[in-house]
Amino acid sequence: MLIQNASWITMNGAASTTVPVFRRLFVCRKPIRSAVLEVTCDGVYDAVLNGRRVGEFILAPGWTEYRKRLQVQSYDVKNLLKENNTLEITVANGWYRRTNAPWTGTQNPDEFLPPMCIAALRIAAEDGSEETILTDGVWEASQSTVTMSGIFYGEDVDMTREPVFAPAEVCDYPKSMLIPQEGPEVREQETVYPRTSFRTPRGEWVIDFGQNLTGYMVFDLEARAGEKLYLSTAEVLDRDGNFYTGNYRSARSKLQYICKEGRQRYKPRFTFFGFRYLRVDEAPEGFTAAQIHAVVLHSEMKRTGWLESSDPMLNQLFSNIVWSQKGNYLDIPTDCPQRDERYGWTGDGQIFCRTATLQYDVRQFFRKWLADVRAAQHDDGWVPEVVPSLTAYKPGGGAWSDAVTIIPWQLYQTYGDLSFLADMYDAMEKWIAYIPTVSTTEDLWTGCWTYGDWLALDAPPDYVPATIELSKRGYSSDDLVCSAFYANSVSIVIRAGRLLGKDVSAYEALHTRIVRAYRARFGSQLNTQTEKVLTLHFGLAEDPQALADALADQIRACGMKLQTGLVGTPYLLHELSRYGHTDVAWSLLLRREYPGWLYSVSKGATTVWEHWDGIKPDGTFWDDDMNSYNHYAYGSVADWVFGVACGIQPAEPGYARVKIAPHPDPRLNSLSAVLDTAHGRIRSFWKYTEGSIRYEIDTPVPAEIVLGGETHMVEKGRYLF
C-alpha cells in the first residue's frame, strides 16, 4: 500500500479530545486517468475533497484490534478532482479514544494518543505520468467545526467556528499494523421519518420515530448564526410517558448543534445513537418535526432470511429480531448500541450467531471480526470477553470465550465454507489448550471466572448474592456451564480437525475423558433448566430422553415459564423439540406474559430487550443500571423458528442438501420461512385448513422432507403436501 510511504500527522498542541481537520491544497493540470486515496486514522474520520464527501463508509476505519490491525480504506476519487483541489480529513475520537467510557480502565495507552491521520493519494494522468500526495509536514491542521465528539458522548458542533490552519506535525508512530479494508463498510441503510411528535407530561417536546434503531438524525433548517438545535436521544419513555435516558448510564448521547447563517443540513459525522425518541432541548424559532428524520446505519450485508406467521405479535417479534441484528452489526457484533458499552461481547456474539447467519449474509462481517479474535487472543490462549479487546478486560469464561470455536463452526454450517475453520483452527486449539492450565479439576473447567447463565431467572427467592455481579446471574453452576462449553469446544475442534485432515486422536481421547468426568461430577445435580439444556445440547447426558422429559416437567411445574438466561435460552426450544416436547417449546414461544418472547412485544417493543422484564408489567423499569432495549441475545430464538418450526436444516454444510422437517402447532394458523442459500432459495410454509394441514415446500437441492413421521426423498422443486 502506498500509504506505507506517508507519515502520520497530528495537530500541534491537540488534546486527545480535539477534533482536528487536516488539509492539503494541490493542483492537477493534466487530464486524469485514475486517482485513488488511501486513508486511515486513530479514531474515526471523514475525508472531503473539494467540498464532497469521499465514499460512503460511515465511521471509517471501523473498529479492529487497533494495535495489531488498523484498516486502510481506498477510494476512487477521480470524479471529485478539479484543477485546484482541497482535500480535508477530519479525525474524531470514535472507538479509539473512548471518552466517557467508564469501564475501559485508564491504563489504555491509546486513550492518550493525539488524533492522527495518515493518507496517500496517487493520481495517474492520461499521459502516463503519476503524482503522489502523502501526509507530511506540508499538510495543515486546524480545529474543526466539531468541537467535541465521542461514540458515547454524541457530538457538539459549532458551525460559526472558522478554521485557523497551521502546519501539521509529523508523528513517529508505527505503520506495521496497517492492513487493507477487510470488513463490509458501515453505510447509511434506510430512512425513518417521525411518526408523531408530542409534549410529555413534564412538558418536553419529543419526536417518536416508531422504531428503536441505530443510526443518527438528519435535519434541514434555516437559522441565524449562533442559534441552537440541541437534541437528546432515548429508547423508551417512562411509565408516565416522560423522556427517559437512565439506561444509557454515562453515555451522554446528545447532538448539540450551533447553527451557521442561512440554510443548512446536518447529520452527526463521527458518532451514532441507539434511539427511538428524540427530545428537542432547544431549537431555532419555527423548527418542526417535519425538518428531521432518522437514518439507520449498519454494516453492509444482504438479507437472506424472512419469517412470517399468521400472528401479528409473532411477526413483531420477528421484526424486532431483525432490527436488533441491524442495530448491533455496526462494524462489530455488539451487545447493545446505546449505553456506555457497545462492545464486541464474545458471548452475545456466539449466542446470536446462528440466527444472524440465517437473516443476513454475514460472511465478510465475521471474517473480519474473527481475524480480530485471533489478534486479540493472548499468547497463552485466552480469548478476551470483548473483541476488539480493551486493556482492562479479562478472559471471557465459559460461553463467552468459546465464541472462538462456536462462531466459525456455525459459519461453516450455514455457508459450507471450510476456510472459516481453516483460518480459526490454530486459535481454537490454543483456546482448548488454555483451559486445563487454569482449571482446578482435571478434564473439567472449574474454579474460573465466568458470567454463568447470565441474567437467568432461576435463583430461589431466599438467595442472597454475595456481590452485585452475582445478582445478575442465575443459579446454574458456573463449573457446569464452563465444563459443558469446554466439552463443546473440544468437540468442535475434533469435527473441524477431521474436515481439515488433522490428527485429532488426542482430542477424541480428551473428549471421552471430559464426558466421563462431567457425568461423574454433575450427572446427579442437573437442577436448573439451563443445566439440563446444556447437558442435552452438548451431548453430555447419560439418558437424554429422561433428562429432556424432566426439563419439560420442570417447565410445566413452574407455570410454563422459562427460567434460562443468555446461555441456556438459545438451546432451550431446540432441546425440547428434539426430544418430543415441541408443544412445550411452542407454549414458551407463544407466551405473552413475563417471562416470554411476546411479553416485550405486548409492551410495545420494536427491538429485542436485554431483560425479559426490561419494562415490568406495572410499567416500571427493571433497573437503570443494565437495561438495554436493543440486545439481540434472546433473539436467537429465530433459529428455532427457521430450523425447527419451519424445519429447514442443512443436511450438508451450506445447505448443499437439506432436510425439511417442520414442527407445526395448531395454536398458530400459518408460518413460513424463506432462506436464500448459496444453492438457491428454500421455502417452507405450513397452514392449518379445516382439520388438516397444508405444506408448501420449495427446495433448490435434493431434500429429505419429514412430515408427520413420514419421510419423502425429493429432487429440487416445489412440493405441496
Report, as residue numbers or ranges, the catalytic residues. 341, 610
Binding of ligand BGC at residue 485 (CB under 6 A)? no
* Separation between Cα atoms, residue 703 and residue 298, nearest integer Å: 35
CB 142 to ligand BGC: min, Å: 38
CB 622 to ligand BGC: min, Å: 13
Nearer to ligand BGC, 45 or 451 (CB): 451
Stretch binding ligand BGC (CB under 6 A), from 335-343, 421-429, 496-504, 577-585: 335-343
C-alpha cell read off for 189: 441503510
CB 95 to ligand BGC: min, Å: 16
* Separation between Cα atoms, residue 459 and residue 274, nearest integer Å: 31
Binding of ligand BGC at residue 584 (CB under 6 A)? no
* Separation between Cα atoms, residue 347 and residue 398, nearest integer Å: 9
> What is the SS3 string spanning 199-222?
ECCCCCEEEEEEEEEEEEEEEEEE
Binding of ligand BGC at residue 335 (CB under 6 A)? yes
Q: Which residues contact 139 (CB under 8 A, 6 or more apart)?
A: 9, 22, 23, 24, 167, 168
* Separation between Cα atoms, residue 117 and residue 10, nearest integer Å: 7
* Separation between Cα atoms, residue 617 and residue 613, nearest integer Å: 8
Stretch binding ligand BGC (CB under 6 A), from 199-207, 235-243, 334-342, 660-668: 334-342
CB 391 to ligand BGC: min, Å: 17
Neighbours of 608 (CB within 10 A): 31
Stretch binding ligand BGC (CB under 6 A), from 3-11, 24-32, 341-349, 673-681: 341-349
Q: Is 429 left (phi over 0), alpha (psi -120 to 50) or beta?
A: alpha
Q: Which of 219, 257, 369, 454 binds ligand BGC (CB under 6 A)?
A: 454
Beta bridge partners of 97: none
Stretch binding ligand BGC (CB under 6 A), from 53-61, 89-97, 343-351, 526-534: 343-351
Q: Which residues contact 352 (CB under 8 A, 6 or more apart)?
A: 325, 333, 570, 632, 633, 635, 636
**In this structure, what are the phi and psi dihedrals at residue 124, rounded to the nearest 5 degrees?**
-105, 125
Nearer to ligand BGC, 155 or 335 (CB): 335
Nearer to ligand BGC, 471 or 505 (CB): 471
Binding of ligand BGC at residue 585 (CB under 6 A)? no
Q: Which residues contact 56 (CB under 8 A, 6 or more apart)?
A: 185, 187, 188
Enclosing H/E stretch for 33? strand 32-41
Stretch binding ligand BGC (CB under 6 A), from 48-56, 195-203, 340-348, 584-592: 340-348
Nearer to ligand BGC, 10 or 346 (CB): 346
How many residues of this chain interact with ligand BGC, rule: CB under 6 A? 9
CB 473 to ligand BGC: min, Å: 8
Binding of ligand BGC at residue 597 (CB under 6 A)? no
Nearer to ligand BGC, 139 or 454 (CB): 454
Q: Which of 184, 347, 408, 565 binds ligand BGC (CB under 6 A)?
A: 347
Q: Which of 169, 235, 238, 348 binds ligand BGC (CB under 6 A)?
A: 348
CB 608 to ligand BGC: min, Å: 12
Stretch binding ligand BGC (CB under 6 A), from 134-142, 345-353, 643-651, 682-690: 345-353
**CA 447 to the chain's CA centroid:** 30
Nearer to ligand BGC, 169 or 348 (CB): 348
Of residues 422-451, those binding ligand BGC (CB under 6 A): 451
Pairing of strands 178-180, 70-76: parallel
Binding of ligand BGC at residue 235 (CB under 6 A)? no
Neighbours of 288 (CB within 10 A): 12
Q: Which of 70, 387, 626, 701 binds ligand BGC (CB under 6 A)?
A: 626
CB 348 to ligand BGC: min, Å: 5
Nearer to ligand BGC, 22 or 612 (CB): 612
Q: Which of 345, 360, 571, 594 binds ligand BGC (CB under 6 A)?
A: 345
CB 103 to ligand BGC: min, Å: 9
Q: CA distances (Å), 286 to each of 221, 261, 267, 291, 414, in order?
A: 9, 15, 19, 10, 53
Torsion of CA 564, 567, 570, 572, to 10 degrees: -40
CB 399 to ligand BGC: min, Å: 9
- Three-class SS state of 706: strand
Q: Which of 336, 457, 541, 589 binds ligand BGC (CB under 6 A)?
A: 336
* Separation between Cα atoms, residue 185 and residue 330, nearest integer Å: 9
Binding of ligand BGC at residue 341 (CB under 6 A)? yes
Neighbours of 455 (CB within 10 A): 22
Stretch binding ligand BGC (CB under 6 A), from 1-9, 216-224, 249-257, 333-341: 333-341
Q: Which residues contact 45 (CB under 8 A, 6 or more apart)?
A: 39, 60, 61, 89, 90, 91, 92, 117
CB 339 to ligand BGC: min, Å: 8
Binding of ligand BGC at residue 398 (CB under 6 A)? no
How is 518-577 classified by DSSP, letter by letter? HHHHHTT---SHHHHHHHHHTT--SSHHHHHHHHHHHHHHTTS-----TTTHHHHHHHHH
Nearer to ligand BGC, 336 or 517 (CB): 336
Nearer to ligand BGC, 542 or 625 (CB): 625
Nearer to ligand BGC, 328 or 488 (CB): 328
- Cα distance between the two ends of the chain: 58
* Separation between Cα atoms, residue 321 and residue 305, nearest integer Å: 12
Q: Which residues in this chain contact ligand BGC in the complex, by CB under 6 A?
A: 335-336, 341, 345, 347-348, 451, 454, 626
